[in-house]
Structure 1
Amino acid sequence: MEDQWQRAYDFAVEVARKAGEEIRKAGEREIRVMTKSSTVDLVTKTDERVEKIIIGSLTDEFGEGTHCFIGEESVAKGEPCILTDKPTWIIDPVDGTTNFVHGFPFVAVSIAFAVNKQLEFGVVYSCLEDKMYKARKGKGAFCNDQQIQVSDVKDIHKSIIISEHGTDRSPEKVTKTFSTMQKILCIPVHGLRGSGTAATNMCLVATGAVEAFFEIGIHCWDIAAGAVIVQEAGGILLDVDGGPLDLMSRRMVSANNETIAKRIIKEIEIFPVVRDDAPAEKQ
């Protein structure tokens, strides 16, 4: 029986590499910076150009109107962020824009593909490192074609946990974010880290470099590709309240195993965020 999504998977890897090359070239030129929602959440012309490259390439390959798209820059311009049963690409063209602007060497292209609201595959290209992470449902996870797997650490005291402080600088949310980090650090764990890109953080969980990554305030395009990679590397995904992951909830814990995940969840101070698929008037 023909594998109907293999072609899409292979093409996604090609497109991610092409997009990564564009990002590297842009990094060698003068970068013009605009502000999006805050001085921290920076966006460059590169985001828009790379998203156009990705969506344009996919549309040319598979035909106009055959697939749907959820892209960070498209949503920022008012496109709906609704996941339907139709074949859908979920795209973050430059995950780690702030890193990119400052020359901090973790920037990723994230491309995921879902059908019937279920993720089929994910591709994350850490373009400054030249590391291509990819995974298909039921077929394992890989980095530069070498199979990867999560760590076997179950003792929280021997773990490294990764997280981010996000772009919302409201005092209440900053306080809760850092209170959570303080409590986890004082469990104690071996350390807390952050690469500045959710997609890369999830891939670090998948390779076993860290035991878990959690964050409140991320978006579906930040984590969709990484979610497949983590699961196919043997890890788990949960909501920060311990329930199943909801891709649109903007809340996630990814970990090497349930023991580590649930221990972290005990320390997380939850604060409200607006869902990605919320009606526009609630955004």
Structure 2
Amino acid sequence: MYKSVPTPLLDHQYHDYISVAVDAALAAGEIIRHAFKQPKKVEEKQNHADLVTATDKAAEDLIFNRIRRSFPDHHFIGEESSAAATGGVSEQLGDSPTWMVDPLDGTTNFVHGFPFVCTSIGLAVGRVVVVGVVYNPVLEELFVAAEGGGAYLNGERLAASGRTQLAGAVVGTEVGTSRDSETLDAMFGRMRALAALSRSVRCTGSCALGLCSVALGRCDVFFEINFGGCWDAAAGALMVSEAGGTVLDPAGAPWHVMSRRVLAAGSGELGRAVAAVLGGCKLGSGEAAPPGLGMGPSLRGRGRGEEEGRGEKV
């Protein structure tokens, strides 16, 4: 397997950041790979659908320690170390370089031996995501992206599908971990609306890998509302943008990394079409609302056919 920084990124302005992130992701991946088929001690966080294991915690500690050795003045936001996955985290994002880490995205998959698990590492500088690394150690897929430098899978340049019509699109999303009736009704309402208009809908259990699937062209669309935090989407969103896709808020507005909402598509036209459908769907009272007007976009890149604008408030 290709286990290094993609050749076109060796001279990138963020090469040092990319190299350290790749090294940390690969090392964390070894922890995950070793534990994947072993007995696991599982703890519940908010409910029976929201899990954490010792592997999540060990992988995050390793990643933070490796990055801090090289960049001791940088800031960190990690899923397992954040005080609360749904509150107060936005205050941690400033202009200083900030690493956003999900040490094991797809913990339920990990517990059940389903191979869609990954480590996701994103870096924001000046509140804009500039580096992303996502590594699935089970399938040995290493995704790397850098602002203005493209996105890569195992060293090969990625290109989103470019599909413009929803009728032929494969749409990815996730069920999430909330189990109250209102949230479930809202979530399945969105899935039903898009299933009726698209070719098919997929749920594979990882927001980061769902976004990478759009960058790779495996899916034409991925959206999720109310995921855990910035660590789930930072790296994957950059992957889509650098692969020529588009990343929006599900309401059609510019995407913000702290919003706990994301919509990615193989083209701007398709992204806007999906946002229009989602605009007719209910949002649960406990789900993350669209970002405020004062929250600027978190990606500088413009994907294929992307135009700025604001859509419905889903």
The counterpart of 1:208, out of the listed 206, 209, 217, is 217
1:151-199 CA-partner distances (Å, limit 9, x unpaired): 0221211110000111111101101111111111111x11000110000
Aligned AA (1:171) = S
- The 8 Å contact of residues 17 and 131 in structure 2, kept in 1 or not, is answered as no
Indicate which of 80, 84, 87 corresponds to 1:73: 80
Post-superposition Cα deviations, 1:13-35, rounded to whole Å, max 9, x if no partner, equal 11101100110111232100110
The match for 1:266 among 273, 276, 287 is 276
**AA aligned opposite 2:19:** D
CA distance 1:154–1:26, change in 2 (3 Å): same
1:258, 1:8 → 2: CA distance? 29
One-letter amino acid of the counterpart of residue 220, structure 1: C
Displacement after TM superposition at 1:69 (Å): 0.1
Say yes or no: does 1:27 pair with 2:30.
no
Q: 5+ residue gaps in structure 1?
A: 278-283
Determine if the alignment matches structure 1 residue 224 to structure 2 residue 234. yes
- Unaligned runs of at least 5 residues, structure 2: 1-10, 292-314
| 2:53 partner amino acid | T
Cα shift at 1:274: 4.9
Distance across 2 between alignment mates of 1:258 and 1:114: 23
Task: Give the residue type in structure 1 aligned to 2:138.
Answer: L
For residue 238 of structure 1, the aligned residue among 237, 242, 248 is 248
Matched, 1:136 2:146: yes
Could you list the runs of 4 or more consecutive aligned residues of structure 1 that deviate by over 4 angstroms after TM superposition? Answer: 76-80
Distance 1:77 1:162 in 2: 26
Contact 2:14–2:146 (CA under 8 A) maintained in structure 1:
no
- Structure 2: distance between partners of 1:42 and 1:120: 29
TM-score under structure 1 normalisation?
0.92
**Secondary structure, in 3 states, of the residue corresponding to 1:74?**
coil
Report the identity percentage.
38
**Cα-Cα RMSD:** 1.9
1:142 Cα offset (Å): 0.2
Deviations along 1:47-94, one digit per CA (max 9) or x if unpaired, are: 11110000011111223xx10000000114799622111111100000
Matching residue within 110, 116, 130 for 1:120: 130
| Residues 78-132 of structure 1: per-residue CA shift (max 9 Å, x gap) | 9962211111110000000000001011001000111111111100001111000
Q: Of 155, 170, 174, which aligns to 1:145?
A: 155
For the pair 1:14 / 2:23, whether they are aligned, the reply is yes
Question: 2:183 matched to which residue of 1?
Answer: 173
* SS of residue matched to 2:121: strand
Q: How many residues align?
A: 273
